[in-house]
Amino acid sequence: MTDIQPDENSPAVAKAPKRKRGKERVAQLLEAGAAVFEERGFAAATMTEIAARAGAPIGSLYQFFPNKDVLADALIERYGEHVFERLDRIAAKAGGLQSAQLAYALLDVFLALSSERRLAIGLLDIRWRGPDARPGYFRGAIRARIAGILRLWRPSLSKDAAESSAIVVLQLMKAHVQLDEDRPGDAKEKAMADWRLMLETYLAGL
Query: Is 132 in the same domain as 180?
Result: yes
Tens digit of each residue's pLDDT (9 = 90 or more) over 141-198: 999 999 999 999 999 999 999 999 999 999 999 999 989 888 778 888 899 999 999 9
Query: Is 83 in the same domain as 57?
Result: no
Query: Is 60 in the same domain as 88?
Result: no
The total of structural domains in the chain comes to 2
Query: Is 40 in the same domain as 104?
Result: no
Instruction: Identify the CA nearest to 35 among candidates 58, 59, 52.
Output: 52
CA-based torsion, 30, 120, 71, 144: positive or negative: positive
- Domain holding 102: CATH number? 1.10.357
Q: Is residue 103 part of a domain?
A: yes
Query: Is 44 in the same domain as 123?
Result: no
Query: Is 44 in the same domain as 99?
Result: no
Tens digit of each residue's pLDDT (9 = 90 or more) over 34-56: 999 999 999 999 999 999 999 99
Question: Comparing 71 with 136, which gets the higher pLDDT?
Answer: 71
Query: Is 56 in the same domain as 115?
Result: no
Query: Is 97 in the same domain as 165?
Result: yes
Query: Is 49 in the same domain as 80?
Result: no
Q: Is residue 71 part of a domain?
A: no
Query: Is 45 in the same domain as 93?
Result: no
pTM score, whole prediction: 0.86
Question: Comparing 101 with 11, which gets the higher pLDDT?
Answer: 101
Between the alpha carbon of residue 50 and those of residues 61, 64, 164, the distances in Å are: 8, 13, 42
Q: Supply the range of the domain harboring residue 142.
A: 76-204
120-124: long-range pairs with CB below 8 Å, 24+: 120/75, 120/76, 120/79, 120/80, 122/37, 122/42, 123/37, 123/42, 123/72, 123/75, 123/76, 124/76
- Domain holding 15: CATH number? 1.10.10.60
